[in-house]
Chains A and B, each alone.
Chain A
Amino acid sequence: MTVMLIDDDSFILRVLTRQLRHLGLQHWGLSKVSACTDGQKALEAIEHGNSRIKLILCDLQMPGLDGVEMLRKLSEMRYPGALILVSGEDDRILHAAERLARALRLKVLGVLRKPVTEQSLSELLDRLSRESDSSRASVQTYSAAEVRNAIASEELINAYQPKVDVASGEVIGVEALVRWRHPRDGLLTPDHFIGIAEANGLMDDLTREVLSNALVQAVKWRQDGLDLSVAVNVSVKSLIHLDFPDYVAREAASAGVPLDRLKLELTESEVIRDVRTCLDILTRLRLKQIGLSIDDFGTGYSSLAQLRDLPFNELKIDYGFVHGACHDAERSAIVEASLNLARQLGINVVAEGAEDIDDWNYLRACGASQAQGYFIARPLPGAELPGWVATWNLRRPALLASAA
């Protein structure tokens, strides 16, 4: 299998070739290095030997065909191998190119700043084996009737992802995340059916189902001595019935969950059309002591204007800003500004996307109040939560002792 290097500078190509050979190509299932100073020629070679090229290292800044055009062409020819972007440009350009490559469905292992060190190179090469295992799984599509039937026949269940207090490690609450227990295809995540539900007017029914399941579960936990707040996702688009707050309050009361232990996390996929109705509903929810979170803050329509106009008492910083923030100047600037914003507005803040120990330590260092993410826990079945809390309490002392 070949690794192809594309850079307009032959000295740089020579250095990269030597580095790859010195690291040992065979560790990553590679056998040959092919170097190219011309993007156009490289493309021709890739097209002819398509399947034999396992990896391309491509410089962004080239005369003639530049790196971005190269990405577009690779995507057009459905290049199936992996890609590493290399550049002496600033990090913002490099990261924008990386996002573009992912959007074009290319398998990007990562980006390398020039000059490239052997260590950074071998770290990215290690991702090569992981990438090739996970082939691009195609998303099965379902019909509106199937989704409607799933809601009606109680095939939707909730998984629960814990949120913890960053300073004390205390478990504060959970976010309910819907899953479809499909009789044939197994447990499906929302990306398989939420779009279909939204497009076919099924979101109200779906939200009701999730809320009702979450309330039942919350009561079970209370009986086990776990007093957790429970958050349910609600699309702003579905806030069209003025009696929604009464409905939620009634459901919570009949289940036996105090209203101040219930939160609604609002996601927005488009501009709010009927501002009056939306404000009416949200304000009454708050008057009833139900919590309102602005979800995925900083992305899409989840914006400063919404924070100004709607009565949120919690802000959830999007995953995309939090994970990796300690290694990234842009992300950390955004996370810290969001924390400050929440502090000054006097509202609670949850950092989503705490995926590793670095994220956790970073959030502790910058004084985030609550965190959620794979580092703390993956979404769990409700019945497993008490067991997880016990394990978490064993992990807590070490996590709180680490440098903050």
Chain B
Amino acid sequence: MSRCPPLPAIDVEVLRAYLGNPDDDVLNEFMEAYRESARELVARLRDAATRAQWPEVERAAHRLKSSSSVIGAYALASACANLERAVGEGENSALRAMKEFDASADRVATALDALFTHSDAN
């Protein structure tokens, strides 16, 4: 399998297009809402994974997949889709997919933190 160059963790322009080109205030408001929602979902998903509650992992991954694709977090959305599928294949697959998920989720969190630090500084 060939390796593609890594996708940007998030793409604000994707969200801008979904919302019909709103101004930056509205955009920030939605990024903030996503950040909150993702923070909660990622925590819930990781917690369920440590308890091997795979159906709960699958549900959280499904939700996070949808919301992440709205803000252009495609790598995370794809990690969520892989995780959903892996849960169906058994615990070993699920544990492997968790690694990809953890890395993607961390990258998105870092990117969101940077975005808000940046906008706070302005």
Contacts and interface: CB of A to CB of B under 8 A. Distances in A.
Contacts of A22: 19-20, 22
Contact of A14 (B30, B59, B63): B30
A260 interface: no
Given A11-B30, A12-B63, A115-B69, 19 more contacts: A10-B37, A11-B33, A11-B34, A12-B66, A12-B70, A15-B18, A18-B30, A19-B18, A19-B20, A22-B20, A23-B20, A61-B62, A88-B62, A88-B65, A114-B66, A114-B69, A115-B70, A117-B18, A118-B20
Interface string B68-95: 0110000000000000000000000000
A19 B67 CA distance: 14
A116 B17 CA distance: 11
A15 B20 contact: no
Contacts of A15: 18-19, 30, 70
A22 B20 CA distance: 7
A114 B64 CA distance: 12
Interface of A: 8-12, 14-15, 18-19, 22-23, 61, 63, 88, 114-118
Contacts of A14: 30, 33
12 contacts: A9-B66, A10-B37, A11-B33, A12-B70, A18-B22, A22-B19, A23-B20, A63-B59, A88-B62, A88-B66, A115-B66, A118-B18
Contacts of B66: 9, 12, 88, 114-115
Query: Of A9, A11, A15, A19, which is in contact with the most chain B CB atoms at under 10 Å from its CB?
Result: A11
Contacts of A11: 30, 33-34, 37, 67, 70
Ranked nearest first, the 3 interchain pairs of A and B with the lowest CB-CB distance are A11-B37, A22-B20, A114-B66
Contacts of B18: 15, 19, 115-118
B59 A9 contact: no
Nearest to B26: A18
A15 B72 CA distance: 14
B64 to A, nearest CB: 9
A11 B37 CA distance: 7
Contacts of A19: 18-20
A19 B22 CA distance: 10
A61 B20 CA distance: 26
Nearest to B84: A88
Nearest to A87: B66
Contacts of B17: 117
A14 B66 CA distance: 13
Given A12-B66, A61-B62, A88-B66, A18 B33 contact: no
B19 A18 contact: yes
